[in-house]
Amino acid sequence: MLDQAMQHASTLGRVVLRRGYGNAASLTNKWQEALIRHGFAPCLQFQYVGGKNTADIALALDALEMLLDGRANQFVIVTSDSDFVGLCRKLQERGAGVHVVGEVKTPAALRHACDRFHEAVPIAAKVEPPAAPVAENVVVDWRSLLVKTVRKVAKVSQNGLVNLSELGTQLRKASPGFSPAAHGHTKLRTMIEACEQLRLHQTAGGHCSVGMASKAEPASPILRAV
C-alpha cells in the first residue's frame, strides 16, 4: 500500500517529508521494510497506557506543525482509520490539500473528509470479471453519475456547458473513488463519448466542454465550435 501511496504523492509535486508512525512494540516487519525501502523517517511511539494509540496523536500534531510553519501544503495520509477525519478537516480549513490512501474497508466518513481518496489495491489480489448483471448495474451507475453531475453544474453555467477538467473535479467530489479506469475507460472523455445523453463541445483551440445532448443534434459525439 505504501508503494501506491508514493506513486500518488509523486503526482502532487516534490515529496519533501516522509514519516512513518506506529507503535514501537507492535510495528510489523512488513511495514518496517516498506518504510526503509522508501526512505521514511521512523516516528515510533511508546504505548504509555493500554488501548491508547499515541502514534495517531503524534501524526496529527506533526502534520499541523508542518502546515503552520510552511514546510508542506499537500498531505498524503496512509490510513483506513476514521479517527483522522478531524485532522483532514483541520488541514483543509488552513488551505492544505489532503489525500488519503486506504484499504477497501475505509469508512465513508474518511473518504469524504479528504480532497481525494485513493483505494489501495492488494498486489496479489486476483481481479475477476464481474457477472453480467453486476456489470450492467455498474454501467448504469456511472452513466447516471455523469448525467447528474453535468446537469447540476450546467445550471449555474452561462452557456449551459461544463469544462471537461471541472467536470472531473466535480465527479471526484461527488464520488471520491471515481476513476474512468474502474469502468473500463482510459480517460473521462471516452466515457462521455459513450454516454448518449451527453455531448462534447470542442473549440478550435482544442478546449473541451460537456453539455446535455438534444434530439436535434447529429450522431457525431463531438461538436466543434469556431
Task: Give the model confidence (pLDDT) of 114-164 as tens digits.
Answer: 999 999 887 665 456 665 444 334 444 788 888 999 988 888 887 888 888
Fold of 132-225: Nucleotidyltransferase; domain 5 (3.30.420)
* pLDDT recorded at residue 129: 60
CB neighbour burial string for 45-63, b if at least 16 within 10 angstroms, e if fewer: beeeeeeeebbbebbbeeb
Position 105 scores a pLDDT of: 93
> Between 219 and 212, whose confidence is greater?
212
Q: What is the 3-state secondary structure (H, E, C) of the chain?
A: CHHHHHHHHHCCCCCCCCEEEEECCCCCHHHHHHHHHCCCEEEEECCCCCCCCHHHHHHHHHHHHHHHCCCCCEEEEECCCHHHHHHHHHHHHCCCEEEEEECCCCCHHHHHHCCEEEECCCCCCCCCCCCHHHHHHHHHHHHHHHHHHHHHHHCCCCCCCEEHHHHHHHHHHHCCCCCHHHHCCCCHHHHHHCCCCEEEEEECCCCEEEEECCCCCCCCCEEEEC
Query: Which pLDDT does position 130 carry in this prediction?
Result: 60
Q: Between 24 and 151, where is the model more confident? A: 151
CATH topology for 2-119 is Rossmann fold (3.40.50)
Sequence-distant (6+) residues with CB within 8 A of 219 are none
- Whether pLDDT at 176 is above 90: no
Q: Specify the residue for cell string 504505548.
A: 47
pLDDT at residue 159, rounded to an integer: 84
Q: Is the pLDDT of residue 70 over 80?
A: yes
Tell whether the model's pLDDT for residue 74 goes beyond 70. Answer: yes
Q: What is the mean pLDDT of residues 26-43?
A: 87
Q: Boundaries of CATH 3.40.50.1010 in the chain?
A: 2-119
Q: Specify the domain boundaries for CATH 3.30.420.610 within the chain.
A: 132-225
